Structure 1
Amino acid sequence: MNKPDLLRQHLLEALPDLPPERLTLSIGQGRTAIVQSATLSFEYRYSLTVTINDFSGGLDTIMVPVLAWLERNQPERLRQPAHEALTFEIATFDTGQTNFTIVLDLSETVLAEPREGGGYTLTYVPEPDYDPGFDNVPDTARLQTLALGDETVF
């Protein structure tokens, strides 16, 4: 599966003050969808749990890069009416540090093509090319300032 590593890389680039050891990703509720056909192609479906420990920033600081990543890597999550793109939990401590847990439902399609002489070539199928919902957000976007109304939060 490619998406967990892609999200890890994206978050570490978007949140340069986040030490890599405070970011953990784990896969749960994994399943495989397959339709009987001429190939053994299949789709991974799983929940990816992203945990950021001892973070001094707010949830918004994390949410914006996650949503930007979803836009490019699981775009249908943001295009379904009344669909929850993700779930989250927050634990705040007296030290001012916070643990954030975000759970994303993801899928990855794998094309399995037989090779001459035996075996298979596996190819991860790219996501459909939707019109971007965040036209003005570049792939390298980093949250530098966050404002709620007239108040600068971050």
Structure 2
Amino acid sequence: MLNGLKWCVGFGLLLWSMGCLNTSPIHEGYPCLDDSDCGGLFCDNFQCKLEPCVKPSRACYVGKTGCTKDGEQFNCTSPCRSGTQSCINGFWGSCEGQTLPNEEVCDGKDNNCDGQTDETFPNKGQSCPFKGTDGQDKGVDGTFV
């Protein structure tokens, strides 16, 4: 994603659009800007491609936020963490064991891996809500921290 824009394929053309939703799974040939768009594959010339491997495993992370690559490892903001990819028949397998960011909920934890706790709930010291405006559970029984 670039400044709120998303890749979209329509009428045989690659387009940028704010409202475009591409629901197809990431695969070789999928459009990309960088490796984080490719879900474990690598981005080459704006297309996701399989990357041949020679060592038995490596650290991996397919999230857009929460971890940054530092050489061959990842520096992550808790609770996010990198996983491991194994070399299978000469190509990297899926990223196993990683922890990706989630939507922030009122629970005294940093759910979205941004280094802040319950930042979307401004009423610290007051009771946590049980349901959001969308009717989904957004908090736990307790108080804002």
The interval holding the TM-score normalised by the smaller chain is under 0.3
Q: Which has the higher strand share?
A: 1
TM-score, length basis structure 2: 0.27
Question: TM-score by structure 1 length?
Answer: 0.26
